[in-house]
Every structure is written in structure tokens, then in C-alpha cells.
A and B are shown apart, each in its own frame.
Chain A
Amino acid sequence: MSHLLPWLTILLCIAMLVAAIIAIRGLSSPIAILAAGLVSLLASVLFLILASPDVAMTEAAIGSGLTTFLFFFILGRVRSSENDGGPA
């Protein structure tokens, strides 16, 4: 298992980069939000591999949980105010 860890780390980093590029160049806002959450989720797995479970937990709770929820909440607010006819 231990000889696989460097490769797993590199794979995670590449996946994070891809997700980050999708988040920036994303076609739609929900996909960009999900991709940004994915970056945090992969980062927390990476922290776990690097033997820091406490940091991994913070990243998973705040980065991929709270921030993703918050972005969706704000997106919902912006869309509903657009439906009301212009910014509220």
C-alpha cells in the first residue's frame, strides 16, 4: 500500500487541477459550484493521506460542506430575485 501512495497523491493533484479548471471555465454556475466543492473534497482526501485527519475534517466540513451549501443558497437567492423582475 505504501508504495502506491505517491501515485495516489499525484492522481489526486491532477484531479484537483481538472476540477479547478472546470470551476473557472464551467458552463453553468451549478457545475462550477460543484467543481469547486470537489476541489475541497479531494484536498481533504489528500490531507488524510498526508496523515493529518484533523485538517482533513476541517477542509471537508468547511470547504466542501458549508461553502458549497452557501454558494447554492446565494445562487437560489439571486435567481429568485431575478424572477421577481430585476434585482430586488
Chain B
Amino acid sequence: MIKRAVALVLLLMLGGIFATLMLGYTPDSELNLTARYYAERTAADLGAANIVTAIVVTYRGLDTLGEVTVLFLSASIVGLVLASNRRPALRVRTPVGELLTTGARFLVPLILLLGVYVFVNGHLTPGGGFQGGAIIASGVLLLLLADPLRHFSHHVIATVESLAGLFYVAIGLAGLFLAGGFLDNRLWPIGTLGELFSAGAIPLIYSLIGLKVGAEFSSMLASLSETEEL
């Protein structure tokens, strides 16, 4: 009884905080200083049509490197914890149904293609490496749903993941010597705004992030599917 009353009071207080925030909110009539800088200078300076991508990959590129590192750490920890109870190789195969098997066979290539499209076009359209990587991982998960005993090569996943991370940092360091600073995208001419091969190194960096994120999520899912106990 007291537990419920306390929960209710806390909920009401939280609601009150949100209500005061909402009632005191007035939309800005113009962009603030930082936002205006990004909105006006991104296309001219970096050649990226999608301003969000320009901020994520170049202006705040170091933060993105940190995020990728955090994801890498969690993937390795999941692998470490789950590696101790790998299940034996032979296990009874449970039927999953015709619809799922055929549907997965049809959809997985399309899902993978969409994921690649999303991260290759990160500098032109909404989305990018993280979204594309998650889409690729959901394709891998669909494969696992259709065939729970499918085995993914950890060696291939680890190689893709490591090489993508290595090249990401290498491009960042190259920016230090060839362009304005760490992770600067102007390693080569930025090209025409709106074309696929434009915005300097941004498409390359975001593709590497996409591969890295996809490989990390896939390795987590693969080790999850290979454990005996959940």
C-alpha cells in the first residue's frame, strides 16, 4: 500500500516537472549561434548535404569515435561473458515453419542491401553508419530466427570489425597530416554537393562505422545464439 502511494507521488512529481517544462516552452524564432554556424557553413566547408552527418562524422567526430569504442567494449564483454558456456555442436533441430524460412531467404538480401544503402548515402540522406549497421544486424538476426542452429564465423566478423576500426582511426590520423585536423574529411576535394562521391572522406568513414557497428551487433547476436544457458 505504502509502496503504491510512494510510486504514485513520484509519478505525479515527474509529471509536474514535465508539465512545467512543457508550459514554459516557447519555440525559438531563429537558430542559435552554434546551429546557425552549422546550417550556413556545412555545405560550403564540408560538402555534406546532410548536416546531421557532417556534425556526427566531422565536427564531433571524436565523440563518434568514443561511441564506437563504447559499443566495441560492450560487444567484447558480451562475447567474454557468453564464451564460457558455448553449447555443444550437436543439438536437436526444432522446425521453425515454412513461412519464416522462405520469408527470411527472400528478405535477408534486401535488408542487407538497405543497410548498405543507408550507410553509403549517410552524407546525402537521413541515417548513416549506426542506423545502417543496426539494419544489417537485424538481417543477421532474421537469419538466426529462421535457422537457430546456423553458425556464423566469429573469425570473419572479428576481422571485419578490427579492419573497419583500424581504417577509421587511420583516416582520422591522415586528416591530422593532410587536412585541418583529426578526422577532418577534406583529405581529397569535397566534390559537388549532393553527389554520391562527395563530402571528402565522410562516405568512407561512415561506411567503415556501418561495417563496424553491424559486425559488433552481429557478434553479440551470434554469441547469444551459441550459449547453452540464457
Contacts and interface: CB of A to CB of B under 8 A. Distances in A.
Contacts of B148: 73, 76-77, 80
Given A53-B126, A54-B126, A66-B217, A73 B134 contact: no
Contacts of A22: none
Interface residues on B, range: 20 to 34
A15 B230 CA distance: 33
Interface stretch (B40-48, B136-144, B194-202): B136-144
Chain A, interface SS category:
helix
Interface residues of A, number: 23
A72 B148 CA distance: 12
A67 to B, nearest CB: 9
A49 B137 CA distance: 27
B228 interface: yes
Interface string A63-77: 001100110111011
Contacts of B53: 54
A88 B94 CA distance: 14
Interface of B: 50, 52-53, 92, 94, 96, 118, 126-128, 130-131, 134-135, 137-138, 141-142, 144-145, 148, 217, 221, 224-225, 228-230
13 contacts: A53-B126, A54-B50, A54-B53, A54-B126, A54-B131, A58-B131, A61-B134, A61-B135, A65-B135, A66-B138, A72-B145, A73-B224, A76-B96
